[in-house]
Amino acid sequence: MMKMPNLGLGTFRLKDQPLRDSLLQGLDLGYRHIDTAQIYDNEAEVGQLMSESGVPRQDIYLTTKVWISEFGPGKVIPSLELSLEKLRTDYLDLALIHWPSPQDEVPMAVYLEQLAEAKARGLTREIGVSNFTVAQLQQAIEILGPGAIAHQQVEIHPLLQNRKVVEFCQEHGIAITAYMPLAYGKVLAEPLLMEIGQRHGVSAAQVSLAWLLAQGMTVIPSSTKRQNLAANLAALKVKLSPEEMAQIATLDRGERCANPDFAPAWD
């Protein structure tokens, strides 16, 4: 089974030419991890671009996420089968529950058990969740048993460090993917990150990514410009000192970018 590369291409809000620019250039530069979701409405385009790229399917780690409208009894698996059809593949590397069911409208056991069934049927190699609180992660582990939830994808960057969730995941062997790792570009203006970047001859964005990567997290920034895609990839080589890591940890101010009205009560 392919291990998730710790730097991936996020496709949130990307369609048409921007999506094409991002994926084809990214795959050409050496990215081998693509993150999409049913609600992004770009799975068919992602599938088309993957086949156009000439990179063999087995060399790409592919994630999609099940939308909240597909949680009811008997709905998760058909929704994933449709995703597979759009993505032109017969398996996912990772299938995630995109958000917990708002107000527990659909009981967690209903959709998580279907997700586990999708894995048992070979539709996906690993399963996980996204945007779950510590209490919800605990509930998920109670439902599926220890070790079943392989990943949690959640917003993390220097301005929102989500420490309680991170610690819980680390304790329970749940890998973390940090989405919006650049806080929609807000980190680029942080004087401390710029200063550390200057010391290393890199950008504030690269410092932010390197800080997350150094903590063992996967990051999925999105970009459509070749130079930025290459720069994000180069963050893998940036090594921050323990002092720099500690300094960046002081930037946490709970600045959340993704907070829809159906979001859970965050930790």
CB 181 within 8 A of CB 208: yes
Q: What is the DSSP string of 221-263?
A: ----SHHHHHHHHHGGG----HHHHHHHHTT-----S---TT-
Closest Cα to residue 257, out of 169, 161, 172, 155? 155
Closest Cα to residue 133, out of 104, 180, 168? 168
pLDDT-derived band of residue 160, with 50, 70 and 90 as boundaries? very high
pLDDT of residue 261: 96
What is the rounded CA–CA span in Å between residue 249 and residue 195?
A: 15
pLDDT-derived band of residue 142, with 50, 70 and 90 as boundaries? very high
pLDDT surpassing 90 at residue 1 = no
CATH class of 9-183+217-222: alpha beta
Where in the chain are the domains?
A: 9-183+217-222
Measured in whole angstroms, the distance separating CA 106 from the mean position of its chain's CA atoms is 23
Residue with token string 């401390």: 192
pLDDT mean over 225-235: 97
- The torsion region of residue 31 among left (phi > 0), alpha (psi -120 to 50) and beta comes to beta
Beta strand pairing call for 218-219 and 175-179? parallel
Report the share of the chain in percent with pLDDT over 90: 100
Mark whether 40 is an active-site residue. yes
pLDDT mean over 255-265: 96
Catalytic residue among 31, 40, 111, 179: 40
Q: Residues 21-57: pLDDT tens digits?
A: 999 999 999 999 999 999 999 999 999 999 999 999 9
Mention every residue, 6+ apart, whose C-beta is less than 8 A from residue 235: 7, 202, 205, 206, 209, 210, 213, 219
Q: Residues 91-136: pLDDT tens digits?
A: 999 999 999 999 999 999 999 999 999 999 999 999 999 999 999 9
Q: Specify the length of the chain in residues.
A: 267
pLDDT surpassing 90 at residue 143 = yes
